Amino acid sequence: MHDFSDVIGQDAVKEHLLRAVESDRVSHAYLLIGENGMGKEEIADAFAKMLLCEKNPLHPCGVCHACVQVDAGTHPDAVHVTHEKPNSIGVDEVRDQLAAEIMIRPFSGKRRIFIVPDAEKMTQQAQNALLKTIEEPPDYAVILLLTESEEALLETVRSRCVKLKFRPVPKEVLTRALMERFGVSRGEAVLAAEFARGVAGRAKEMVLSVEFRQRCEETLSLLFSLPEEGAEKIPGDISKIEEWYPDLMDFLDFVRMYFRDLLLLKSDPRSKNVIFAGNEERLIQASRDLSPERAGKALEETERTVDRLRANVNADLSLALLLEAVRMSRTKG
Ligand SMILES: [Zn+2]
Q: What angle do helix axes 315-327 and 234-244 make, rounded to 10 degrees?
A: 120
The terminus-to-terminus CA distance of the chain in angstroms comes to 57
DSSP line for 186-245? HHHHHHHHHHTTT-HHHHHHHHT-HHHHHHHHHHHHHHHHGGGS-GGGHHHHHHHHHHH-
Q: Where are the domains of the chain?
A: 4-165, 209-327
Q: pLDDT (tens digit, 9 = 90+) per residue, 164-174?
A: 999 999 999 99
Residue 228's pLDDT is what? 87
User: What is the third-level CATH fold of 209-327?
Assistant: Zinc Finger, Delta Prime; domain 3 (1.20.272)
Residue 195's pLDDT is what? 87
* Percent of residues, the chain, with pLDDT higher than 70: 99
59 Cα–ligand 1 center, Å:
8
Stated pTM of the model:
0.81
CB-count exposure of residue 136 (10 Å: 0-12, 13-18, 19+):
exposed
75 Cα–ligand 1 center, Å:
12
Q: pLDDT (tens digit, 9 = 90+) per residue, 111-150?
A: 999 999 999 999 999 999 999 999 999 999 999 999 999 9
Output the CA–CA distances (angstroms, integers) from residue 234 to 69, 212, 230, in the order listed.
56, 23, 8
208 Cα–ligand 1 center, Å:
30
174 Cα–ligand 1 center, Å:
29
Residue 191's pLDDT is what? 87
CATH class of the domain defined by 4-165: alpha beta
94 Cα–ligand 1 center, Å:
29
Q: How many residues does the chain have?
A: 333
61 Cα–ligand 1 center, Å:
4
CB 79 within 8 A of CB 100: no
CB 212 within 8 A of CB 203: no
Q: pLDDT (tens digit, 9 = 90+) per residue, 281-316?
A: 999 999 999 999 999 999 999 999 999 999 999 999
Q: What are phi and psi of 152, to 5 degrees?
A: -75, -5
Helices (H) and strands (E) in the chain, counts: 15, 5
Q: pLDDT (tens digit, 9 = 90+) per residue, 87-120?
A: 999 999 999 999 999 999 999 889 999 999 999 9
Residue 1's pLDDT is what? 57
Confidence of residue 275 (pLDDT cuts 50, 70, 90): confident
3-state helix, strand, coil in the chain (%, to 5): 60, 10, 35
69 Cα–ligand 1 center, Å:
9
DSSP line for 81-110? P--SSTT-B-HHHHIIIIIIGGGSPPSSSS
What is the rounded average pLDDT for all residues in the chain?
Answer: 94
CB 99 within 8 A of CB 130: yes
Q: pLDDT (tens digit, 9 = 90+) per residue, 227-236?
A: 888 889 999 9
62 Cα–ligand 1 center, Å:
5
What is the rounded distance in angstroms from the CA atom of residue 247 to the CA atom of residue 250? 6
CB 40 within 8 A of CB 166: yes
251 Cα–ligand 1 center, Å:
45
Query: Which of 37-51, 108-122, 207-221, 313-327 is least confident?
Result: 207-221
Residue 333's pLDDT is what? 41
CB 9 within 8 A of CB 170: yes
Identify which of 222, 219, 213, 224 has the alpha carbon closest to the alpha carbon of residue 280: 224
Residue 22 CB-half CA count within 13 A: 8
Identify which of 219, 214, 208, 309 has the alpha carbon closest to the alpha carbon of residue 256: 219
